[in-house]
Amino acid sequence: MKCDILAIGAHPDDVELGCGGTIAKLISQGKKVVIVDLTEGELGTRGTAETRADEANAAAKLLGISARENLKMKDGFLNNSELYQIKIVEKIRKYQPEIVLANAIDDRHPDHAKGAKLVSDACFLAGLKKVETFDNKVLQEVWRPKHIFHYIQWKNIVPEFVIDITGFLDKKIEACLAYKTQFYNPESKEPVTPIATKDFLESLTYRAQDLGRLSGVEYAEGFTTEKLIALKNFDGIVCD
């Protein structure tokens, strides 16, 4: 199944937090989006691998994702190994995305930056004919995405471009809150973590609002890019 966008996250909920509004908007425009989670988030203080899987499926349904897979890599111990690279190459060739969305290039959680580099390297390898991979014993065709964009997570990385998500912020927050064990709930008896606070939940709105303020829209999500982006013309640029 070919998709338009392959969104990859080190943990279930990374994609929703980093670019959930962008994904919701793209799907509303008829784009096919697939999510691949690298780990099950099994080291998370709150919840379990099982609850995270249920929550990830619920979030996927809310967003209208075409497919979602988990590669079950080791949470907290991602490494840029041949084994992990090949696992991602297989998914890139399976779904043949034009664009890959990946973790932030630098962040509080070490898996995020590691995942960013791992995905970037796998995207390159996926285009090499002599790197052979198989799907149900059938040799896969080579495929290299046209672009890799990195969403922004905990750290305030300066974006190189933003996507206007006005009208889609509520859907993003709804998808994030599908992870009931992970985020702010005043009735929860589980330990408080940095992302399980009221302030973090509110940051989903005020960070999107601030990027929107800076770019002339109501709400926006920011991205960095690995190569210079060329515009065919100025159509589509938001002018305030």
CATH number of the domain where residue 77 is located? 3.40.50.10320
Q: Rounded to an integer, what distance in angstroms lies between the CA atom of residue 177 and that of residue 169?
A: 12
> Could you tell me the pTM of the whole model?
0.96
**Is 231 among the domain residues?**
no
**Is 56 among the domain residues?**
yes
**Is 82 among the domain residues?**
yes
Smallest CA-to-CA distance from 23 within 97, 88, 80, 73 is with 97
pLDDT at 62 over 80: yes
pLDDT at 201 over 80: yes
pLDDT at 240 over 80: no
Q: Rounded to an integer, what distance in angstroms lies between the CA atom of residue 1 and that of residue 95?
A: 5
Domain that holds residue 125: 5-225
How many residues can be counted in the chain? Answer: 240
What pLDDT score was predicted for residue 239? 67
**Is 9 among the domain residues?**
yes
**Is 230 among the domain residues?**
no
Burial class (CB in 10 A: 0-12, 13-18, 19+), 229: exposed
Average pLDDT over residues 56-83: 97
**Is 237 among the domain residues?**
no
More confident residue, 239 or 130: 130
175-201 burial string, b = 16+ CB within 10 Å, else e?
Answer: bbbbbebbbeeeeeeeeeeebbeeeeb
Q: Is 8 strand, coil or helix?
A: strand
Listing from the earlier edge strand, what are the strands of the sheet with 5-9?
67-73, 33-39, 5-9, 99-102, 147-151, 220-225, 161-164
More confident residue, 86 or 239: 86
More confident residue, 1 or 163: 163
Among 65-69, 124-128, 144-148, 180-184, name the one with the lowest average pLDDT.
180-184
What confidence tens digit (pLDDT) does each residue in 19-30 have?
Answer: 999 999 999 999
| Both tokens assigned to 71 | 């590669």
3-state DSSP percent of the chain in helix, strand and coil, to 5? 35, 20, 45
**Is 78 among the domain residues?**
yes
**Is 206 among the domain residues?**
yes
Total domains, the chain: 1
Amino acid identity for residue 25 in this structure = K
Average pLDDT over residues 47-75: 97
Decide if 78 contacts 41 (C-beta within 8 A): no
